[in-house]
């Protein structure tokens, strides 16, 4: 890629606050100092999202080895906590899994193994099992630094709780999925219904 094009792409990415691509294109343009600056910013963004494994690799590219070491420790702590939570959740619905098995699935497939198991429960109309397994998959997706998949699993958790009639958990699932507008609409609807019920009484 010609330097001129790489610089143009880097500046475009910088304007969009897409730090990963800004760093990548500055790197391709041979602008090492600028690349390091944006690898650092990309790492900080990942840390804010809780994506510590990605933060670790970007801090290494930025040659900030102290921060890289801190990030990988946070990743390991988050992973261990997630595995323990998932073991408890699955045990509560009679689907015992050892920590070793969960860790192996996590390393190989992040939360996709559990997501597929949740889909099977949903097909069988075992909505409580499906809800809890979607919740478990969301926890693993979050630990692996996949915000998109985390949100999808929390939405499915909310959907299952809707089938079970648990409004509080529907709201909790939508909140964790980051669906603020939907959450606000539901809260307004619930408030209106409550007020109308009081009037009828």
Domain extent, residue 33, equals 3-71
Calculate mean pLDDT across residues 97-121: 91
- Residue 133 binned pLDDT confidence (cut-offs 50, 70, 90): very high
pLDDT score of 164 more than 60: yes
Q: Residue 67: what pLDDT?
A: 94
192 and 109 fall within a common domain: yes
- Residues 6+ away with beta carbon under 8 Å from 137: 111, 112, 114, 115, 118, 149, 153
Number of domains in the chain: 2
175 and 119 fall within a common domain: yes
102 and 196 fall within a common domain: yes
Calculate mean pLDDT across residues 138-167: 91
Look at the chain and count its residues: 201
Q: Residue 1: what pLDDT?
A: 65
Residue 83 in domain: no
State the CATH number of the domain containing residue 12: 1.25.40
23 and 66 fall within a common domain: yes
Q: Residue 40: what pLDDT?
A: 95
Give residue 179's region: left, alpha or beta (phi > 0; psi -120 to 50): beta
Q: Using N-to-C axis directions, what is the helix angle for 127-143 and 147-164, rounded to 10°?
A: 160
Q: Residue 186: what pLDDT?
A: 67
Calculate mean pLDDT across residues 165-190: 78
Calculate mean pLDDT across residues 36-48: 94
Q: Using CA atoms, how far apart are residues 172 and 189, in angstroms rounded to an integer?
A: 16
10 and 62 fall within a common domain: yes
Q: Residue 181: what pLDDT?
A: 66
115 and 191 fall within a common domain: yes
35 and 112 fall within a common domain: no
101 and 181 fall within a common domain: yes
pLDDT score of 182 more than 80: no
- Do 50 and 145 contact (CB within 8 A), yes or no? yes
Last residue of a domain, one of 17, 36, 71: 71
pTM confidence score: 0.76
């Amino acid at each position: 890629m010609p330097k001129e094009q790489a610089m143009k792409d880097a500046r475009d990415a910088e304007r969009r606050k897409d730090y990963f691509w800004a760093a990548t294109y500055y790197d391709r343009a041979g602008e090492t100092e600028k690349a390091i600056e944006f690898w650092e910013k990309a790492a900080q963004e990942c840390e804010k999202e809780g994506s510590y494994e990605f933060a670790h690799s970007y801090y290494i590219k930025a040659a900030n080895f102290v921060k890289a070491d801190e990030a990988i420790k946070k990743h390991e702590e988050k992973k261990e906590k997630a595995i323990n939570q998932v073991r408890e959740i699955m045990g509560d619905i009679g689907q015992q899994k050892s920590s070793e098995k969960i860790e192996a699935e996590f390393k190989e497939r992040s939360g996709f193994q559990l997501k597929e198991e949740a889909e099977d429960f949903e097909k069988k109309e075992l909505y409580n099992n499906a809800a809890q397994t979607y919740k478990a998959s969301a926890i693993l997706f979050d630990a692996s630094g996949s915000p998109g998949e985390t949100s999808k699993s929390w939405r499915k958790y909310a959907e299952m709780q809707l089938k079970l009639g648990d409004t509080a958990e529907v709201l909790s699932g939508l909140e964790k999925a980051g669906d603020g507008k939907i959450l606000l609409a539901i809260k307004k609807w619930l408030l209106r219904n409550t007020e109308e019920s009081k009037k009828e009484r």
